């Protein structure tokens, strides 16, 4: 059964890899990203029977969230909402004693407030279908204490809690906080400037873990890609 999905931050990395997989299986995928040219170039010719609807913009902008709402309505509804877009914050990663208040405010607005606002806007669509699902991208920084990762980790911990509460409040939906683990992405490179991160897995190798989770539809909760992939071996 094909679905309609919305994947934020789909111009590169895990968002693009997931979009490619959804298009390959025939889904309609609404995507967004801040860089209109990069989003168009990345998603214009993805192979498969599915369809991509690109809506460039910044998720912290209410007008852009409204444009996504319009795109979803024109697509006929929404089955899957994936909050992939996010920001790392300053690079190199500062210790909490050096984390500027405005930098943390920007992290919070992008990683927590904007996903919540978009979810609230799209909940009516998600509630109408038989398999409405929300996925938030988590991180081990949400549950582990890594020096320098306090600001980013705090926002991911908050997003985990929002996902947990939403799952409790919306029993008709499935709400998953999905931790993909380390990946070879631009964001991860910014976390380790000047270091070689070629040993990290490509995002496309992590996508099957999320697709398997969506296929199995366990109760709402937090899931690690490493555990999901291990269970299939």
SS3 breakdown of the chain: % helix, strand, coil, rounded to 5?
Answer: 50, 15, 40
Supply the pLDDT for residue 22. Answer: 98
The predicted structure's pLDDT at residue 187: 80
Please tell me the predicted confidence (pLDDT) of residue 1: 57
Res 184: pLDDT: 81
pLDDT (0 to 100) of residue 74 = 97
4-231 homologous superfamily: NAD(P)-binding Rossmann-like Domain (3.40.50.720)
3-state secondary structure of 212: helix
Tens digits of residue pLDDT in 76-107: 999 999 999 999 999 999 999 999 999 999 99
Q: Which residues are catalytic?
A: 152
User: Can you list the residues of the chain whose pLDDT is less than 70?
Assistant: 1-2, 233
Considering the chain, what is the average pLDDT of its residues? 95
pTM beyond 0.85, yes or no = yes
Give the CA count within 13 Å in the CB-facing half-sphere of 207.
Answer: 18
Q: What is the pLDDT of residue 148?
A: 96
Contact present, 114 and 168 (Cβ < 8 Å): no
Separation between Cα atoms, residue 110 and residue 87, nearest integer Å: 7
């Amino acid at each position: 059964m094909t679905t309609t999905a919305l994947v934020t931050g789909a111009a590169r990395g895990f968002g693009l890899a997931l979009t490619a997989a959804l298009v390959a299986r025939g889904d309609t995928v609404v995507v967004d990203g801040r860089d209109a040219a990069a989003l168009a170039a990345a998603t214009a010719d993805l192979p498969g029977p599915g369809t991509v609807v690109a809506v460039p913009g910044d998720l912290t902008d209410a007008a852009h969230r409204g444009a996504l709402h319009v795109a979803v309505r024109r697509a006929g509804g929404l089955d899957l909402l994936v909050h992939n877009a996010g920001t790392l914050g300053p690079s190199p990663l500062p210790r909490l004693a050096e984390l500027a208040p405005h930098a943390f405010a920007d992290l919070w607005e992008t990683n927590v407030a904007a996903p919540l606002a978009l979810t609230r806007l799209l909940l009516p669509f998600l509630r109408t279908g038989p398999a409405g699902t929300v996925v938030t991208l988590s991180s081990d920084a949400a549950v582990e204490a890594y020096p320098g990762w306090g600001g980013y980790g705090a926002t991911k911990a908050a997003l985990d809690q929002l996902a947990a509460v939403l799952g409790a409040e919306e029993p008709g939906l499935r709400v998953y906080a999905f931790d993909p683990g380390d990946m070879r992405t631009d964001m991860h490179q910014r976390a380790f400037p000047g270091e070689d991160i070629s040993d990290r897995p490509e995002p496309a190798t992590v996508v099957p873990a999320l697709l398997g989770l969506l296929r199995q539809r366990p109760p709402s909760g937090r899931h690690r890609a490493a555990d999901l992939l291990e269970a299939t071996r």
